[in-house]
Chains A and B, each alone.
Chain A
Amino acid sequence: MLHVLLIIFLISLFYLSIANRMTTYINVLALQGVLLFFVAFMELKSINTVNLILILLETVIFKSLAVPLFLKYILKRNHITREAEPFLPNFVSLIITTVIVITTIILSNTMEEGKLDKMFFVVALSTLFTGLYFIASRRKIITHVMGYLVIENGVFVLSLAVGNEMPMLVNLGIMLDIFASVLILGIFLNKIGDVFKDIDVSQLTNLKDY
């Protein structure tokens, strides 16, 4: 069952890579939060209850409710258009995501280690690199933020894999999540939207060497 959830998580990445609308991105992020909730619930058996409740709250309340609602609010407030506007066609995106996943599977097979479930490793690393790819290939600044949130979800998967032995690391991961999301989204909400009317990375090229 754990593996089924992780595979659904992986499939959500493929879906993201061909998604066209901003709302789809937000919904997939919310779905990933719910998936992480169940993964955390099943994986972290030997962790103490208070800590587990904290982790579960973070996944459900923060990842799958607060952040998506906040993103929707930003979309509305800044009148961001519905299209994701990737630099590359969706078909190419799909191929690149597939290549990333296959590469991480090959990489995971070269690591000889019994302690870690390889599925966690594959899902986490491919989420990380797919997130970086989203950041590099999308035109809107808000999609960069979403790419970063995808990376954070990937890191969270990895921290769950070691969570039973080192619960401290999962808590640190939560701290990273909240801190970075609040900082980035906060700047976005307060400043970027007001100053730059059309939110597009081509506007962020004024810092030059000459």
Chain B
Amino acid sequence: MIVTYLIISILIGATLFFNKNKTLNYILICLFLVVQCIFTAYVCWHYNETSANYFTFDSLGIIMLVTATIISIPAVFHSYIYIEESEEMTPHSRGTYFGALTLLITAVSASYLANHIAVVWIFTELTTLSASALIYHHRNKLALEGTWKYVFICAISITFVFIGILFLSLSFANAGSDDLSYKNLLANSSLLNLPWLRLAFLFIFTGFTAKLGLFPMFTAGVDAKDKAPGPAAALLSSIVMCMGFVGIFRFYVIIANTPLLHWASLVIGIAAFLSLFIAAVYMIKVKNIKRMMAYSSVEHMGLVMLGIAAGGIGYYAAILHIVLHSFIKASLFFQYNQLYKVYKNKNIYQLGNYFKYNTTGAMVVLFAFISVTAMPPSGMFVSEFLIFRSMFEANQLILLIVVLLLLTFIIWAFAKNIFRILFIPAVNFDESKVPQISQWRSLSQFVLIGGAAYLGLNPPLLFVDLINESIKFLPH
């Protein structure tokens, strides 16, 4: 089944790439969404089965795949609005955009389900390729700079992951088997050679941070989200980040069953704390709203990885948090296009009084702000609270206090900028040219934010079971 899915999706992507006809373009992209939904349903129906040897439909894969499918539907819808309203649109750029979008969603979905570390790596390469086409959509100097930085840093990071895989194979040499699937590694985790495993973890972790948006390699992602069109940036800050998380998490599960557990948690914890610190510093001085949202993603990934490092309930909270963050951050980036349409600017000082010009859109920004800063009625409050609890239980009180202090800075900076956009009148802004924006365009954002609140406050039993199933091999 997965082979059929990959072939159909890649064919659709390739046709989109070469096609110049508008109607055919949108028929094909809708067809892709149908294929994606059918595939997701099939995967959920065949829980825990293995397909084509290298793909297992396990619980973590299902959680992430369903998240990706839910986000990709509004992403295509907003891409349609974005492309059709764009002044510089040509049939060629439209084809490239939708072809790359299809390829990105396909590659990310396949990498969630891959059960072999090398297969995950291959699909990670594919996401770099498709994401670079999306980032370069505007074809100007700044977009080129963003694309170049993204491609270069991602190329180095996938090289790092590859070195990590080589070290892993050396570490595994004693086991007398050359099968590097996660299942086999986990079964033979006692035979792994520890010094090599240490090196392998360092390289694989550093490599995947480029996709996850964590400390050493986060810069590429921030530039990419700044230059990519809004709907593409939404995908980069949600499903691509989930892919980086899956890459690290699956390997961490293996490490957690060796004596290196505490060392690995320490490494993750340091990287996570530094990410939070950097996010706090940049959030205070940032003036570009898109970059501010990108740094907020860095902050949330720091929190997710702090949950992983603390252990216990933190594992559960981390997976919950990354799913909720995907929904919220995607809706913020979808909303960004309406904001840009009103003001034709992304400098925070040039925006203002958004409630007056687009009330529904302003409501989305306000609700998303409440969610992203984890204020109580939102779903992310629950996951963030659980992460803090896990740190408390792990006796990391000083770290917890510092983290809370940094979060205060971040919330202050975020609130200052968002309230300026929503309520304070913009300077020198010509009101006569404000376009009317249909309220229905905000519907998907409300659904995503509401869904996140529902999942956080009253998670369905099935969802809880799936998360618990994903973390069952971790020590409790």
What residues make up the interface of A, taking CB atoms closer than 8 Å to B? 110-113, 115-116, 128, 132, 135, 141, 144, 148, 151-152, 155, 158-159, 161-162, 165-166, 168-169, 172-173, 175-176, 179-180, 183-184, 187, 191-192, 195-196, 204, 206-210
Checking B125, B142, B156, B196 against A179 with a beta-carbon cut-off of 8 angstroms, the contacting residue is: B125
CB-contacts of B218-253 with A (<8 A): 223, 226-227
Stretch at the interface among B101-109, B158-166, B314-322, B393-401: B158-166
Interface assignment of B420: CB less than 8 Å from any CB of chain A: no
Contact A151 B156 (CB under 8 A): yes
Interface assignment of B93: CB less than 8 Å from any CB of chain A: no
Q: Which are the 8 A-B pairs with shortest beta-carbon distances?
A: A210-B287, A209-B286, A180-B155, A115-B173, A166-B178, A207-B223, A158-B166, A162-B169
Checking B129, B158, B180, B282 against A176 with a beta-carbon cut-off of 8 angstroms, the contacting residue is: B158
Distance between Cα atoms of A29 and B162 in the complex (Å): 21
Contact B170 A204 (CB under 8 A): no
Contacts A112-B195, A113-B193, A210-B286 given; indicate if A173 touches B162 (C-beta within 8 A). yes
CB-contacts of B72-111 with A (<8 A): none
Interface assignment of B37: CB less than 8 Å from any CB of chain A: no
Contact B148 A187 (CB under 8 A): yes
Distance between Cα atoms of A87 and B384 in the complex (Å): 44
Interface assignment of B118: CB less than 8 Å from any CB of chain A: yes
Given contacts A116-B173, A175-B122, 17 further A-B contacts (CB under 8 A): A110-B195, A113-B170, A113-B195, A148-B155, A155-B162, A158-B163, A161-B166, A162-B169, A162-B170, A166-B180, A169-B166, A196-B144, A207-B142, A207-B226, A208-B288, A209-B288, A210-B287
Distance between Cα atoms of A209 and B146 in the complex (Å): 13
Closest to B121 in A: A172
Distance between Cα atoms of A18 and B292 in the complex (Å): 42
CB-contacts of B158-195 with A (<8 A): 158-159, 162-163, 165-166, 169-170, 173, 178, 180, 193, 195
Contact B159 A176 (CB under 8 A): yes
Contact A148 B158 (CB under 8 A): no
Closest to A112 in B: B195
Contact B159 A165 (CB under 8 A): no
Closest Cβ of chain B to A44, distance in Å, is 15
What residues make up the interface of B, taking CB atoms closer than 8 Å to A? 118, 121-122, 125, 128-129, 132, 136, 141-142, 144-149, 151-152, 155-156, 158-159, 162-163, 165-166, 169-170, 173, 178, 180, 193, 195-196, 223, 226-227, 282, 285-288, 291
Contact A207 B145 (CB under 8 A): yes
Chain A residue contacts of B180, Cβ below 8 A: 166
Checking A141, A195, A209, A210 against B141 with a beta-carbon cut-off of 8 angstroms, the contacting residue is: A195
Closest Cβ of chain A to B475, distance in Å, is 27
Contact A128 B163 (CB under 8 A): yes
Contact B291 A206 (CB under 8 A): no
Distance between Cα atoms of A210 and B417 in the complex (Å): 13
Checking B118, B146, B159 against A207 with a beta-carbon cut-off of 8 angstroms, the contacting residue is: B146
Contact A210 B165 (CB under 8 A): no
Closest Cβ of chain A to B89, distance in Å, is 20
Distance between Cα atoms of A128 and B166 in the complex (Å): 14
Closest to A204 in B: B145
Chain B residue contacts of A113, Cβ below 8 A: 170, 173, 193, 195-196
Contact B149 A204 (CB under 8 A): yes
Closest to A107 in B: B199
Most buried by B among A132, A135, A173: A173
Checking A115, A132, A165, A172 against B118 with a beta-carbon cut-off of 8 angstroms, the contacting residue is: A172
Chain B residue contacts of A155, Cβ below 8 A: 159, 162-163, 166
Chain A residue contacts of B193, Cβ below 8 A: 113
Chain B residue contacts of A176, Cβ below 8 A: 125, 158-159, 162
Distance between Cα atoms of A191 and B121 in the complex (Å): 27
Checking B159, B166, B286, B288 against A180 with a beta-carbon cut-off of 8 angstroms, the contacting residue is: B159
Chain A residue contacts of B144, Cβ below 8 A: 191-192, 195-196
Contact B122 A172 (CB under 8 A): yes
Contact B155 A183 (CB under 8 A): yes
Chain B residue contacts of A172, Cβ below 8 A: 118, 121-122, 162, 165
Chain B residue contacts of A144, Cβ below 8 A: 152
Checking B147, B169, B173, B282 against A187 with a beta-carbon cut-off of 8 angstroms, the contacting residue is: B147
Give 8 pairs: A residue, B residue, CB < 8 Å, sorted on A: A111-B195, A113-B196, A144-B152, A180-B125, A187-B151, A206-B142, A209-B285, A210-B285
Closest to B288 in A: A209
Contacts A113-B170, A172-B162 given; indicate if A148 touches B226 (C-beta within 8 A). no
Distance between Cα atoms of A173 and B118 in the complex (Å): 11
Chain B residue contacts of A204, Cβ below 8 A: 145, 148-149
Distance between Cα atoms of A30 and B173 in the complex (Å): 32
Chain A residue contacts of B136, Cβ below 8 A: 191
Checking A132, A135, A165 against B169 with a beta-carbon cut-off of 8 angstroms, the contacting residue is: A165
Contacts A192-B148, A207-B223, A209-B282 given; indicate if A111 touches B118 (C-beta within 8 A). no
Distance between Cα atoms of A88 and B286 in the complex (Å): 32
Contact A184 B155 (CB under 8 A): yes
Contact A180 B158 (CB under 8 A): yes
Chain B residue contacts of A115, Cβ below 8 A: 170, 173
Closest Cβ of chain A to B392, distance in Å, is 33
Contacts A144-B152, A204-B149 given; indicate if A165 touches B223 (C-beta within 8 A). no
Distance between Cα atoms of A204 and B223 in the complex (Å): 12
Closest Cβ of chain B to A168, distance in Å, is 7
Contact B163 A183 (CB under 8 A): no
Chain A residue contacts of B227, Cβ below 8 A: 207
Contact A206 B141 (CB under 8 A): yes
Chain A residue contacts of B223, Cβ below 8 A: 207
Closest to B179 in A: A166
Chain A residue contacts of B170, Cβ below 8 A: 113, 115-116, 161-162
Closest to A210 in B: B287
Chain A residue contacts of B162, Cβ below 8 A: 155, 159, 172-173, 176
Chain B residue contacts of A184, Cβ below 8 A: 151-152, 155
Distance between Cα atoms of A80 and B141 in the complex (Å): 19
Closest Cβ of chain B to A165, distance in Å, is 6
Closest Cβ of chain B to A21, distance in Å, is 23
Distance between Cα atoms of A166 and B178 in the complex (Å): 6
Chain B residue contacts of A192, Cβ below 8 A: 144, 148
